Structure 1
């Protein structure tokens, strides 16, 4: 499966920020003032996360859409 396609969960916190988490990448979370900003931020976070795993020679977890 392509590493460019990841399931994310988006919700609004009590302060009104949009929070976005990527369940297949433990600890990969971002936020934004708008949905659009939050999605751009999580895309960047996912890309950075995957890049660091590859640079460190670690396994990149598969995405799990059955969740």
Structure 2
């Protein structure tokens, strides 16, 4: 099953979040954060049923005037 990951840099850590489910992880590099997210997703779905299908996420940026 394929998930969409969003990564942000928080201090010295990269935080990786799965868009389709509320699962996140972190790592010191992008590669480590993604590997840790993969492991976290695998552990998450040990206790949760796999969805039959996931809708394609729509990723967009939003500008806000402050």
Give the TM-score category using the shorter length: 0.7 to 0.9
TM-score, normalised relative to structure 1:
0.72
Q: Secondary structure at the match of 1:42?
A: helix
Equivalent pairs, count: 58
TM-score, normalised relative to structure 2:
0.73
Tell me: higher relative CO, structure 1 or 2? Use CA pairs within 8 A at least 6 residues apart. Answer: 1
Bigger fraction of residues in helix:
1
* Higher Cα Rg, which structure: 2
Gaps of 5+ in 1: none
Q: Which runs of 4+ in 1 moved over 6 A?
A: none
Gaps of 5+ in 2: 60-66
